[in-house]
Chain A
Amino acid sequence: MKTNYTFLLPVLVLVTMFSACDKPLPDPLDLADNDFELTGATKYIIAATPVGTSGIADYLLTAADLDQGKITTRGNGMEQEGSYRYYVSNKNRFFSLLYGQGNPGAVTSYKLDATGKLSKLTNFQTETMQVLAPAKDDIFTIKVPRSGNEFATMFRINARKYQIVGEQQANIVKLAGNGERAHFTCAVQTGDKIFIPYMSIKGEPRGGDTFGTKYPDSTWVAVYSYPELRFEKTIRDNRTSFIGNYFVNGMTVTDEGDIYAFSPAAATNNGKAVSTKPSAIVRINKGTTEFDRSYFFNVQQAAGGHHISGQTYVGKGLFILEMYPQPNSLDGEGKKFAVADVVNKTFKWVTGVPDNITSTTPNNYSPKDGKKAYIGITTASEGSYVYVFDAEIAVAKKGLQVEGGTITAINALNY
């Protein structure tokens, strides 16, 4: 009896052991990043977060057409690691950056394969960033500390080598020169320069009014050489407030090569909006490093008191502006949209946009044909749609439906 069982045990053990070994992990992805001849077709990459989820990253969906149809995150789309991401594309590659405050994060790069399928290229690590922008062959990012450390770090990440190729420190307290901190909001590269607007903030931890400032009525843009990242100068203005906002892009180069800068006039101090200047558009002409003193577009006046909150360039000098919902206020729910011709300084409200908006997409797409822009809008009653804006007639209509998700970004790649 006994020998019977003692014999069985090792057999059982051996059988289980062999069946229960881990298989070796697959070899690291080969970086098959060959360029193939493009067919001229475009695919749109829509990042969407399923409604009701928290603490997870967006799913990356692809669509051939933004004007109509329906896509869903159910059983569809690429899952991403982490919980909060920002997106940028350059050199026909799409980048998803993990936002990690003081922690390093992984960036994942994607391309479309010859059949138009989104495929993962590689992961690499960067520091967290508050500014990201395409610049020449690079993705340009800046990590901006709000307390303690006085140095912001700028990174150049090559968009085809998928690694950091340049790094530069900038003393933001010295740059502000007013006892506060220069907090970069966005960046635009043109020619051999990169223009980086900033807001002046008090920073942590004094009293908790981190983003408050005693200087609400000034505009600053730091100018660096590119790609060397040598500091050249700061250009200033006092007709409006700072350009852009925290994580909000407020600068665009138009077809003519001029830079248009958008100020929401959203400076605060101790929790109150304190800017006495209007929300407006100013200009830096091509080849210069000064504001054009002869150009000023008082959008707040044209909009009956509404402040600018975001902008999407449509081409031919036309912009779709996202506007704060209430006149002369930075509060309230439900954004509004307008078309602005920045060259001719005209402003027109867009019709066809729903009035019960719960969220809008900050990172949108336009083919820059002077006509169309695609902006994600979510309402409680109908869910999320890509709205197709026609800048020529200032009308928006429903396009692609994104079922079950909130749209966080719309990008395009070619194949």
Chain B
Amino acid sequence: MQIKKILLLTVLCIYGILTYAQNRSSSLSGHLKSSSGTSIAAATVKLQNQAYKLVSDEKGEYRFPSLKPGNYVVHISAMGFKPQKQEVRINEGEDARLNFTLTESAEQMETVTVIGRTPIQEINQQAFNVSSIDAKKLHNSTLDIASALDRVSGVRVRVAGGLGSQMELSLNGFTGRQVKFFIDGVPMDNFGSSFQLSNIPINLAQRVEVYKGVVPVWLGSDALGGAINIVTDNNLKSYVDASYSYGSFNTHRTFFNAGYTSESGFKFQLNAFQNYSDNDYKVTTSTADLFTGQYYPNQKFKRFNDTYHNETIIAGAGVVNKSYADQLMIGLTMGQNYKEVQTGIRMASVFGKWFREGNIIMPTLKYAKKDLFVKGLDLRVNGNFNLGTEKNIDTVYRRYNWLGQFREYAGAGSERERSLYKYRNNNGLATANLSYVLNEHHSFSLNNVLNTFNRKGHDELDPTKAIYEQPFISNKNILGLGYKYNASEKWNTSLFVKHFSQLNKFSIAYNPSGLWGDVAYQNQKTDYSKLGYGIATTYFLKPNLQIKASYEKSFRLPETDELFGDIENLEGNIGLKPEHSYNYNAGLSFQTHINKIHRFSFDGSVLYRDAKDFIRPSLNQNQTKRTMGNLASVTNLGLEGEIRYSFKQLFTAGINATYQNLRNDTRFEENMVMESPLYRDRIPNMPFLYGNADASLFFKNVGQKGNTLTLGYNVLYVHDYYLSWPSQGERADKYDIPRQWQQDVNAVYTLGNGKYNIGLECKNITDNRIYDNFSLQKPGRAFYAKIRYFISKNR
């Protein structure tokens, strides 16, 4: 219902704008270059006495789309260049062009961006602690977005297995859903299994922004520890990007992305991608004789029920640069996935026939307008609704072992829980963002995100089963108000307040008789309304030395999967309470160079966190699923640092390390008067010391002039950690995840000025045993090859 209201409102808004903006407006655009002729990106372009400013794009272009006729003074400033200003007169209906040639300045630093980080200053100048991955640099690699993220300092991606398996991210000790994902600023919370970070190819992204700690208001969400924003928008007029990769475990991946924007402002985009893998990699585990129960430990077995594939199309059409909209796009995301389930949450439970299917049918609406009614007032509206369904199929009454052998039993049984459950989550999402730039010092933003969830489903095997008739409803709304004070180019501060609300309707199973296993249902409602706030500030001590600090009180509302389960390996916990936390963050970044040949960047940050009702996973009582629970009080002191180096355009290397000191601060357990034996113990089953190093060599003009060969190496280290509380039990007998080293090498050969690319990659080259999550083993040595064709035109 609410979705309908919002859509209606949006339509009314657009209608209003259409009637308002009948007059033909003028525009101003131009190109910025240095005296040597190279385009200048990220330069600030300001109109004197006007509220807002622009930043030039990667091609050195800028554009003010709708201006009133009149005289303007254009100010240009860019790091490493002398500022310039120029007067211009714009007539009615004119599309004026004004180009600038900037001269290098001796006093200011030249941009000393180290290879691998996006040079977009707008992002780095924020008071928020953010690092940005230049995804385009990885477009020739066979990575998915998840594995690219794994290389950012402070980030640990944990996956349950091969291609398509569930992934979870930990960021500075925040894990799972504490970290929120966005695609172009739109929360990805409810996209279903067919469109997840682990199955989106890297080529979809232009860059990936990683916010650590405080998240800006315009990314409106209940992120507690950070956010990942995947930026897909590019400003190319027309382009085709097509790639195919093939690799170990019969893995095929195809990606196609094309876009076209006509002179008249019609824009069309098409993304299509496909992933397929047998995931039949080898794992080292024990198998049992199905008759005697005898275990044969430490054997190697090929996975045999783990095929995964998904196919997704994202199409969008609309208009850009119109007087009534800078962008108005209507889109449709359609996709499907198929996933066999090989194991439970521990490798001891092995399945041979169980699988899942899902699809996504999601209409989307995107609207953006700058200078709505008044100069400096920008509106962004996004809406989507997922009509997709998910299906869980477990109907074969067999017991499998790791050899793929099975015993079949008579009757109607299953491998775990007999099910042909088909359900629809009815996820809706609407976001609206209004920002107003009063002048160059003060700006405001208002952001609202509404999420709806209403799971409905049935099981044809058991149509009357009471559990499926229970309500699974969750509505979540987050309203944020932000204020940004730009004291000077050197100092800016953001303040914000957020209101979190959540309404869950569900039923609880209770035990009417007091006897074990007896079940009846009772409808329940929980209603949360919480207020959070924060401040983030940054100061440039020197143009190349930046300090940042932030503080916030934030809430993280339970996700629908955590409340109601994912019908696979996560068991719901409807009693889960919102987690809240006080986060303190301080960071420093410094860039320097020696003779512009050796470039260095140093980043470091420290964070302290005091969390209540900390949400963490543990095994459920059957020990084959995970479930989320609250831990009364947890503190974390985290440190992370990164050093990057590059030599001319020939070599780059970097190293980063993260340490988390997550401790249980719960002194007294509920109803206990004695101090908890786990007080100040380290939180188990979470990596606490890990790091990454990478190096790349670039060879120019290999084979033919203009062709480039890149050789890369990447190593990941994760220190060993205990699966259970460290203080408990004898050290020698404890279960742990051993220390892990994973090394990858890759080579990319680029021909025809980037038109054709060939990539080769070997992951886990030493064939080490790599684990995540309750010892689920990940693939060993694997090879992948990728070919890519990319062509674009900007004019």
Contacts and interface: CB of A to CB of B under 8 A. Distances in A.
Interface stretch (A157-165, A312-320, A346-354, A386-394): A157-165
Contact of A380 (B298, B514, B671): B671
B647 to A, nearest CB: 6
Interface of A: 1-2, 5-6, 9, 12-13, 16-17, 20-22, 25-29, 50-56, 59, 72-79, 81-84, 98-107, 122-127, 146, 148-151, 157, 162-165, 167, 204-205, 207-212, 245-247, 266, 268, 270-273, 330-331, 358, 380-383, 403-405
Given A77-B733, A103-B344, 5 more contacts: A17-B765, A54-B618, A102-B416, A102-B622, A405-B677
Interface string B710-748: 000101010000001101111101110010010101000
Contact of A211 (B416, B518, B666, B767): B518
Interface string B675-705: 0111000000000000001010100000000
B481 to A, nearest CB: 38
Interface residues of B, number: 89
Most chain A CB within a 10 A radius of its CB, from B291, B618, B724, B769:
B724
A150 B738 CA distance: 44
A27 B697 CA distance: 41
Contact of B677 (A51, A127, A331): A51
Given A52-B666, A52-B676, A76 B730 contact: yes
A164 B291 CA distance: 7
B677 A52 contact: yes
A23 to B, nearest CB: 9
B298 A28 contact: yes
B464 interface: yes
A47 B731 CA distance: 17
Nearest to B629: A54
- The prevalent SS among residues of B at the interface is loop
Contacts of A59: 728-729
Contacts of A73: 677, 728-729
Contacts of B619: 55-56, 82-83
Given A50-B677, A103-B344, A83 B623 contact: yes
B1 interface: no
B545 interface: no
Contacts of B493: none
Given A13-B713, A50-B678, A55-B627, A149 B411 contact: yes
Interface stretch (B249-257, B282-290, B600-608): B282-290
B673 interface: yes
Contacts of B697: 5-6, 9
A358 B671 contact: yes
B465 interface: yes
Given A103-B349, A125-B293, A148-B411, A75 B695 contact: no
A123 B285 CA distance: 12
Contacts of A9: 651, 695, 697, 713
A84 B621 contact: yes
Interface in B474-528: 512-521
B414 A163 contact: no
Contacts of A273: 513
Given A150-B411, A210-B517, A83 B647 contact: no
B37 interface: no
A79 B517 contact: no
Give 6 closest A-B pairs by Cβ, nearest first.
A55-B618, A271-B512, A404-B677, A20-B741, A125-B288, A163-B292
Interface string B289-319: 1011111111000000000000000000000
A62 B285 CA distance: 29
Contacts of A55: 618-621, 627, 629
A1 B397 CA distance: 67
B293 A246 contact: no
Given A53-B725, A103-B416, A104-B349, A123 B295 contact: yes
Contact of B766 (A20, A77, A83, A380): A20
Contacts of A79: 724, 728-730, 733-735
A12 B672 CA distance: 55
B766 A22 contact: yes
A330 B465 CA distance: 28
B568 interface: no
A163 B677 contact: no
B766 A17 contact: yes
Interface string B45-61: 00000000000000000
B92 interface: no
Nearest to B410: A151
A11 to B, nearest CB: 11
B412 interface: yes
Contacts of B734: 79
Nearest to A183: B517
Contact of A52 (B516, B519, B669): B669
A167 B294 CA distance: 15
Contact of B284 (A25, A78, A268): A25
- The prevalent SS among residues of A at the interface is loop
B409 interface: yes
B413 interface: yes
B623 A84 contact: yes
B678 A271 contact: no
Interface in B746-787: 765-769
A100 B518 contact: no
Contacts of B348: 81, 104-106, 125
Given A21-B766, A54-B618, A104-B349, A78 B730 contact: yes
A20 B739 CA distance: 10
A50 B725 contact: yes
B106 interface: no
Nearest to A6: B697
A77 B727 CA distance: 11
Contacts of B620: 55, 83
Contacts of A25: 284, 298
A163 B416 contact: no
B515 A208 contact: no
A99 B462 CA distance: 26
Contact of B729 (A12, A21, A54, A76): A76
A54 B615 CA distance: 13
Contacts of A5: 647, 650-651, 697
A104 B735 CA distance: 20
Most chain B CB within a 10 A radius of its CB, from A27, A104, A151, A204:
A104
B13 interface: no
B530 interface: no
B517 A163 contact: no
Given A50-B677, A52-B669, A76-B730, A157 B293 contact: yes
A100 B623 contact: yes
Contacts of B713: 9, 13
A98 B623 contact: yes
Contact of A146 (B298, B517, B671, B741): B517
A14 to B, nearest CB: 10
Nearest to A106: B348
Nearest to A125: B288
Nearest to B729: A79
Contacts of B286: 123
Contacts of B512: 209, 270-271
A182 to B, nearest CB: 15
Interface in B161-181: none
Contacts of B298: 25-28
Interface in B633-673: 647, 650-651, 666, 669, 671-673
Contacts of B677: 50-52, 72-74, 403-405
A403 to B, nearest CB: 7
B408 interface: no
B513 A211 contact: yes
A205 B289 contact: no
A267 to B, nearest CB: 9
B72 to A, nearest CB: 48
A101 B622 contact: yes
B386 interface: no
